[in-house]
Amino acid sequence: MGQHAENAPGETVRPEFRTGRVRELANDGTVRVLAHLPGETETWGWANCGLIEHRGRALLVDTPYTPALTEGMLARYEERVPGVAIEAVALTHANGDHCWGLQALPGQPEVIATEATAHAICHEPSPEQVTALLRGSDPDSALGAYFRAMFPFDFSAVELGRANVTFRGEHVVKLGEGADGVEVHLIEVGPGHSSGDLLVHVPQAATVFAGDVLFVGHHPVTWASLTGVIAALDRVLALEPEVVVPGHGPVCGPAQVAELRDYLELLRLHAERCHAEGLGLLEAARSFPLPAYAAGWGMPERMVITIATHYRALSADQGAPDMVALVGACAEYWAQAGGRSQGDAERAAGGPVPLPEQRGAGADEAAQAGRG
């Protein structure tokens, strides 16, 4: 069961996926804001990136997951802004799908990140470790099947980059000099999705790149702090943007930010009830009454990770998340759903799902047996 990718090593990314497209979000003659949107979004790892340009000089927001994908993105930008000089790149956070393409950037741009992100880049699972999981795990195990289905990338050429400008709080990047220059505000909002999230705000263009505190069209994944992501979304809304670029999914406006905030608040309350009742993670995820607007969202298995993150907070567990173990729990949920990751419209249409009767130790096993 499950979906087994059958790509040969070194060919895990299908060629048609290499080409994303660039969309212009704002252009007032002084500042242009572009987003690189991947051509594929149905698995993990297809992140949006940005380019903020002023008179031929630019700040990038994030890189794609691999050097090859990053080269494809740079070619698309070059078509739209010929000769653009990338002076700096701001990393919204440390997950590989936002920074493992750094080595493909020409010249030696400044790499700007929060201090927490700079630390996390060196401590999250490395490209070598992820490659070992992709190639070495049992394809018939839930985790092995999930990794193969959900991470269709080749990480073998990735050399980990480093941030060389770090900050806490806020940091302003100025493109150009004098009154004509354009300010870009980097605003630390982590821990939330990750330990060191930041927002990229271009006030002159009323645009915010939110990184992975915002997902659109898929269930979000929260590694560090659920209440932190909710506060980060409040921060996005307080900036009163007209255009918001999520880490993953289509470009949107404030309404989608408010919607995700609402979902996370409901999930927080649900997780707190389940924690108090001693429910396991899978059972808690399965019994979350999905709001109607989330019915079509993909990757519902990621609720497991977000709930686990809030369980850790409720248990005052200060330790770093075990990302591989959490993806393993996510894979169990996915495998029990038949290896499907599309939305759960049926369940949402049916209204709230009652909590199962069985409680306490073994609750997840009971849930697996009864509701798989």
Backbone angles phi, psi at 105, to 5 degrees: -75, 135
Nearest distance from C-beta of residue 69 to Zn ion, angstroms: 13
Nearest distance from C-beta of residue 248 to Zn ion, angstroms: 6
Nearest distance from C-beta of residue 238 to Zn ion, angstroms: 23
Nearest distance from C-beta of residue 191 to Zn ion, angstroms: 15
Residue 124 and residue 176: Cα distance in Å, rounded? 35
Question: Among 53, 62, 97, 344, which residue sits at the site for Zn ion (rule: CB under 5 A)?
Answer: 97
Site for Zn ion in 282-321 (CB under 5 A): none
Q: Which amino acid is at 305?
A: I
Question: Among 197, 212, 344, 364, which residue sits at the site for Zn ion (rule: CB under 5 A)?
Answer: 212
Residue holding tokens 């590694």? 223
- Residue 196 near Zn ion by CB under 5 A: no
Residues touching Zn ion, count (CB under 5 A): 4
Stretch that binds Zn ion, among 60-68, 104-112, 204-212, 227-235 (CB under 5 A): 204-212
- Residue 205 near Zn ion by CB under 5 A: no
- Residue 154 near Zn ion by CB under 5 A: no
Nearest distance from C-beta of residue 17 to Zn ion, angstroms: 16
Cross-strand pairs, 80: none
The DSSP secondary structure of 191-228, one letter per residue, reads: SSSSTT-EEEEEGGGTEEEEEEEEESSB----SS-HHH
Nearest distance from C-beta of residue 195 to Zn ion, angstroms: 14
What is the 3-state composition of the chain as percent helix, strand, coil, each rounded to the nearest 5? Answer: 40, 20, 40
Specify the DSSP element, H or E, that contains 72: helix 67-80
Which structure tokens are listed for 161? 């980059």
Question: Among 67, 96, 247, 280, which residue sits at the site for Zn ion (rule: CB under 5 A)?
Answer: 247
Which structure tokens are listed for 256? 């989608």
Range 126-145 burial, b when 16+ CB lie within 10 A, else e: bbeebbebbeebebeebbbb
Is there a contact between 84 and 78 (Cβ–Cβ < 8 Å)?
Answer: yes
Nearest distance from C-beta of residue 39 to Zn ion, angstroms: 16
Is there a contact between 49 and 63 (Cβ–Cβ < 8 Å)?
Answer: yes
Stretch that binds Zn ion, among 67-75, 129-137, 207-215, 235-243 (CB under 5 A): 207-215
Question: Among 31, 47, 216, 285, which residue sits at the site for Zn ion (rule: CB under 5 A)?
Answer: 47
Q: Dihedral through CA 233, CA 238, CA 244, CA 246, nearest 10? A: -10
- Residue 127 near Zn ion by CB under 5 A: no
Number of Cβ within 10 Å of residue 370's Cβ equals: 12
Is there a contact between 81 and 74 (Cβ–Cβ < 8 Å)?
Answer: no
Nearest distance from C-beta of residue 247 to Zn ion, angstroms: 5
Nearest distance from C-beta of residue 186 to Zn ion, angstroms: 17
Which structure tokens are listed for 125? 């699972």
In degrees, to the nearest 5, what angle opens at C-alpha 32 toward C-alphas 29 and 37? Answer: 150
Q: Which residue, 152 or 280, has its beta carbon nearer to Zn ion?
A: 152
- Residue 199 near Zn ion by CB under 5 A: no
Which structure tokens are listed for 40? 């594929």
Q: Which residue, 12 or 222, has its beta carbon nearer to Zn ion?
A: 222
Q: Which residue, 47 or 208, has its beta carbon nearer to Zn ion?
A: 47
Q: Which residue, 47 or 113, has its beta carbon nearer to Zn ion?
A: 47
Q: Which residue, 68 or 99, has its beta carbon nearer to Zn ion?
A: 99
Binding interface with Zn ion (CB under 5 A): 47, 97, 212, 247
